[in-house]
């Protein structure tokens, strides 16, 4: 992972535009949150501020906040809506629990 990508992910996590699954260590953007747009806006605001006011970020992004906001929206856009690991676990539990229950409900 490149340094720029790390910075973008750090900002996304800090502003909760992206979340990380503590179990699978997998980034995702929580689509169910209605505050998504607000988090995105906050992430962009933080990104612009960092590039304007903090020398290491300014150097990394050549004093152009757009390079960071573009990367941010790419990073957030590329993240799945939920943790794939948790999603597949949830499905397999549902299948296992659902099938036997239907048959077992009729004792002879
Ligand atoms: Zn997970």
pLDDT tens figures, 5-61: 999 999 999 999 999 999 999 999 876 655 568 889 999 999 999 999 999 999 999
The token duo for 92 is 């397999």
pTM, 2 dp: 0.76
Residue carrying structure tokens 């906050």: 42
Q: Is the distance from CB of 10 to CB of 63 less than 8 angstroms? A: no
Question: Which residues are within 5 Å of ligand 1 (an ion), measured at CB?
Answer: 21, 23-24, 83, 85-86
> Strand, coil or helix: what is 56?
helix
Contacts of 35 (CB under 8 A, 6+ apart): 16
Distance from Cα 92 to the centre of ligand 1, integer Å: 14
Q: Does the structure show a pLDDT above 80 at 90?
A: no
What does the DSSP assignment read for 39-53?
HHHHHHHHHHHHHHH
Distance from Cα 55 to the centre of ligand 1, integer Å: 35
Higher local confidence (pLDDT), 88 or 10: 10
Distance from Cα 28 to the centre of ligand 1, integer Å: 9
Q: Write down the pLDDT at residue 106.
A: 52
Q: Write down the pLDDT at residue 52.
A: 97
Q: Write down the pLDDT at residue 76.
A: 92
Distance from Cα 35 to the centre of ligand 1, integer Å: 21
Distance from Cα 80 to the centre of ligand 1, integer Å: 11
Q: Is the distance from CB of 82 to CB of 26 less than 8 angstroms? A: no
User: Where along the chain do its domains lie?
Assistant: 3-101
Whole-number Å distance between alpha carbons of 59 and 10: 17
């Amino acid at each position: 992972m490149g340094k720029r990508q790390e910075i973008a992910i750090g900002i996304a996590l800090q502003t909760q535009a992206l979340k990380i699954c503590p179990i699978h260590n997998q980034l995702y953007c929580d689509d169910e949150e209605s505050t998504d747009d607000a988090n995105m806006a906050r992430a962009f605001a933080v990104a612009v501020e960092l590039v304007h006011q903090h020398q290491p970020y300014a150097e990394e992004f050549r004093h152009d906040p757009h390079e960071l906001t573009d990367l941010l929206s790419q990073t957030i856009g590329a993240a799945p809506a939920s943790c794939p690991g948790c999603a597949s676990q949830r499905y397999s539990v549902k299948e296992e629990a659902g099938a036997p229950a239907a048959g077992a409900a009729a004792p002879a």
